[in-house]
Structure 1
Amino acid sequence: MDLSQYAMVEGNPKYQQAIKRERALYTRAYDIRTPFGRDYTRLLFSQGYRRLKNKTQVFFAIDDDHVCTRLEHVNLVASIANTIAHQLKLNTELTNAIAAGHDIGHAPFGHGGERILREISEKYGLEPFWHERNSLHFVDDIEVLEDDYHHFYNLDLTYAIRDGIIAHCGEMQQEIIRPRDEVIDLKHDFLRPGMYEPFSYEGCVVKMSDKIAYLARDIEDALRLHIITEQEVNSLRDELNALGGYQFNAINNGSIVNYFIQDVIHHSSELGIGLSKEAFMKMRIMMKFNYQHIYEIKRVDIHNNYVKLIMNSIFEFLYDYYQSPSFLEDLKRDQNQYHALITHYLSHLEKHAKFKDQPRNPLYENKVIYDFENDPQAITKSILDYLAGMTDTFLIKSFNELLSF
């Protein structure tokens, strides 16, 4: 299918909105990149992107190099989405940039960590935490890059990429994803996951690819970790084949990804990025299998309780400092005892916080997001963002500092 007339390129009536930024970027002479190409490299250069290599996708198996990490998942999504977008003649630069940034604000320890951060945020009267909105928050407010003069600025990404990030929810069961036409305030109008479809066809491709990327990859990891058996996977294969149509010889990442890519390419149209009825049914069966046999098993609950202990302990440890009028001085006093946890938290505050009678470092020209002088929730927001940005490994390292004497 040729969807080139809907590609987000110059001439598309939505293009000028798609390339809008909250603040103009600095420029260099002879910069050859397009707006979306520039955003792609800004995401790759960000610290949040780098940390994805040590964040859980589904299974916490830090000693096993072959279990999928959040960064591998992002790269799988990007590969799938790029193939589909290329075949449909959409804008692959936009597609790649959305894919690169779509999980940049994901919590450590996967969806279990996400639920725990949601519980903490609701307990302290903040809006519920969900990783799609937090990814937008990270690219809008948290991530900074250094310019040629050592000054730091926010990423200031284009609207189409910011939109694709918050609209990517891969848990939705949809046979077709139709891009919306209306322009919305992404920070204030988007109130829950999946509330709006992406603004671009490219965003719809990434949203579909997110589902395709994790279906069989999670099954491969579950097999490797002996959470499911070959017999259970063969039963899944037989159930899929009983629907008729395409017959799977094996259920693995290559066979599943190829099947869905081919189906999306042949069943997308001007109506949206879609699946055949057969493929949609097979996707639903695989998602149900994964939830029943992988995501909701007892071992996952036990691990989530462990993560809950770690996250709540660190939150409460940092929150208690704020009860003292000498909040910052007390943190600095204990920095040697809890070196990793406090040092990096203080660095986080230096970048993003404003305190009464304390000038900011003039090198930081990014937004102030924690106003400790006027916002009573500044402490809660700052710790939640700090936790959300952590890797699994750093979270455990910080917790171990609390246990050490």
Structure 2
Amino acid sequence: MQSGLFSKVSAHEKNPNWEQQVRRITPIYKKADDIRSQFARDYTRILHSTAYRRLKNKTQVFFAARHDHICTRIEHVNHVASVSYTIARFLGLNTELTNAIAIGHDLGHAPFGHAGEEFLKEIVKQELGATFWHERNSLRFVDKCETLTDNEGLERNLNLTYAVRDGIVCHCGEVDENSIFPRAEAFDLYCIEKSSQCAPFTWEGCVVKISDKISYLGRDIEDALLLKILTDSEIRELVNIGRQFGAFEANEITNTLLMHDFIIDLCKTSSPDRGIAFSPQYLDLINALKAFNYRYIYRHERLNIYKQYAQLVVESIYQTLKSAYRGTETPAELERYAVIYPVLAHNFREWLAKYARTEERTAKYQNEVLYCLEKRQDYIQAIVDYISAMSDNFAITLFNEITTF
């Protein structure tokens, strides 16, 4: 079943913005027998990237490496892909574009979720005089850090289309959460200075933006119930929220029902004239659930202890690597560090060999050079990039190496 209301404004070849939507930073090689569209190609490029693989061991909200049923970031991005696909297909939008934006929107997210992000934000502010926010960092990762092997065996940047890159950097924030319209202007995405500064450039990006919220609110509640961190009175309050908005029966607030009802309401309410929108009832419900989650889940005391642990892990890795800086002699210093910290030193030295202009950079690396080791600020940026790339598990492995004698 489809309404097709947005088919004329979707991302397709007759759209006046099409050339901008599919534009890449540099031309990309083509295979004569390739049957994929530009956006389908972006989807598979993201899918095969190492940053995407690491999402399976990155915290969404709850760090639970030993619990198979708690949502990780890789599950979250696939929830967003599923929700946005359902909405886009019904509305007549480009599902290949929503799929690519959705699975790429959290690449490069810091380990330990927002706890890790907050510490990196402080480092960047103090050391680099800049801001760090995960949407911008995701754009940096897909543009500059992630690589794939091309048809000649060379490592090159992902080089995604403008529409996908735009959807990634604009996926978060609360800009006109109800009635989202795409912006008219296509500009340099690095001109965006903060989260929620602007709406996405495409209708598909708008769908992913709101699908992100549909995807995490109910699932975070489900995980909180599974981990039994909500009290009986808090659960009763949750049930009362459902009753208040007439959306659910007494014991029916589940992730499945929340996602279904939000999707149906959004599809019924949205139009090119009104924008991607919820009805007033469901907008109030989503805001009530968001307030509930912040009050009882995201600020739960057990998460405060976890945040302290996450900060200790990230800070220990950062300070250890920071102390190794010796300008252009840093790779040699890291070799000496390898006697004590073999995994950390060798792994970070490989990172510098790939992204810094050093004697160790080989011809197979045709990706962008990011760091000049003569500049201390470039070295700090290298550490920030390296840490933000990590999975929780790998960060803990390095922390254990640093703290074990």
- TM-score, normalising length: structure 1: 0.96
In structure 2, C-alpha distance between the alignment counterparts of 1:154 and 1:66, rounded to whole Å:
34
- Per the TM alignment, residue 106 of structure 1 is displaced from its structure 2 partner at its CA by 0.8
- Per the TM alignment, residue 323 of structure 1 is displaced from its structure 2 partner at its CA by 4.2
Matched, 1:228 2:225: no
Matches within 5 A, 1:5-404: 5-170=8-173, 174-187=177-190, 189-229=191-231, 231-244=233-246, 249-271=251-273, 272-323=275-326, 326-355=329-358, 358=359, 360-373=361-374, 375-404=375-404
Instruction: Kindly provide the amino acid, as one letter, of the partner of residue 123 in structure 2.
Output: I
Aligned-residue CA RMSD (Å): 1.6
CA 1:332–1:200 in structure 2 vs 1: closer, same or farther (change >3 Å)? Answer: same
- Per the TM alignment, residue 343 of structure 1 is displaced from its structure 2 partner at its CA by 1.8
CA 1:128–1:264 in structure 2 vs 1: closer, same or farther (change >3 Å)? Answer: same
In structure 1, C-alpha distance between the alignment counterparts of 2:402 and 2:20, rounded to whole Å:
48
Instruction: Kindly provide the amino acid, as one letter, of the partner of residue 202 in structure 1.
Output: E
In structure 1, C-alpha distance between the alignment counterparts of 2:107 and 2:344, rounded to whole Å:
21
Are the equivalent residues in 2 in contact too, given 1:170–1:208 (CA < 8 A)? no
- Per the TM alignment, residue 199 of structure 1 is displaced from its structure 2 partner at its CA by 0.4
User: Which range is displaced more, 329-338 or 36-45?
Assistant: 329-338
In structure 2, C-alpha distance between the alignment counterparts of 1:325 and 1:22, rounded to whole Å:
30
CA 1:242–1:117 in structure 2 vs 1: closer, same or farther (change >3 Å)? Answer: same
Q: Give the SS at the match of 1:145.
A: strand
In structure 1, C-alpha distance between the alignment counterparts of 2:109 and 2:201, rounded to whole Å:
22
Instruction: Kindly provide the amino acid, as one letter, of the partner of residue 57 in structure 1.
Output: Q
Q: Give the SS at the match of 1:278.
A: helix
- Per the TM alignment, residue 58 of structure 1 is displaced from its structure 2 partner at its CA by 0.1
In structure 1, C-alpha distance between the alignment counterparts of 2:172 and 2:327, rounded to whole Å:
40
Instruction: Kindly provide the amino acid, as one letter, of the partner of residue 226 in structure 1.
Output: K
CA 1:245–1:69 in structure 2 vs 1: closer, same or farther (change >3 Å)? Answer: closer
In structure 2, C-alpha distance between the alignment counterparts of 1:138 and 1:325, rounded to whole Å:
24
Ranges in structure 1 where 5+ consecutive residues have no aligned partner: none
User: Which range is displaced more, 71-80 or 267-276?
Assistant: 267-276
Are the equivalent residues in 1 in contact too, given 2:138–2:169 (CA < 8 A)? yes
- Per the TM alignment, residue 40 of structure 1 is displaced from its structure 2 partner at its CA by 0.4
Ranges in structure 2 where 5+ consecutive residues have no aligned partner: none
Measured against aligned partners, the alpha-carbon deviations of 1:377-401 in whole angstroms (never above 9, x if no partner) come to 1110000000000000000000000
In structure 1, C-alpha distance between the alignment counterparts of 2:31 and 2:234, rounded to whole Å:
56
- Per the TM alignment, residue 235 of structure 1 is displaced from its structure 2 partner at its CA by 2.3
CA 1:76–1:67 in structure 2 vs 1: closer, same or farther (change >3 Å)? Answer: same
In structure 2, C-alpha distance between the alignment counterparts of 1:325 and 1:181, rounded to whole Å:
45
- Per the TM alignment, residue 171 of structure 1 is displaced from its structure 2 partner at its CA by 5.4
Q: Give the SS at the match of 1:371.
A: coil
- Per the TM alignment, residue 333 of structure 1 is displaced from its structure 2 partner at its CA by 2.4
Are the equivalent residues in 2 in contact too, given 1:172–1:194 (CA < 8 A)? yes
Equivalences, count: 401
In structure 1, C-alpha distance between the alignment counterparts of 2:50 and 2:174, rounded to whole Å:
26
Measured against aligned partners, the alpha-carbon deviations of 1:219-240 in whole angstroms (never above 9, x if no partner) come to 1111111211355234222223
In structure 2, C-alpha distance between the alignment counterparts of 1:212 and 1:245, rounded to whole Å:
15
User: Which range is displaced more, 239-248 or 110-119?
Assistant: 239-248
Measured against aligned partners, the alpha-carbon deviations of 1:1-58 in whole angstroms (never above 9, x if no partner) come to 4210111011001111000000111111211111101000000000000000000000
Are the equivalent residues in 2 in contact too, given 1:223–1:230 (CA < 8 A)? no
In structure 1, C-alpha distance between the alignment counterparts of 2:342 and 2:360, rounded to whole Å:
24
Instruction: Kindly provide the amino acid, as one letter, of the partner of residue 324 in structure 2.
Output: Y
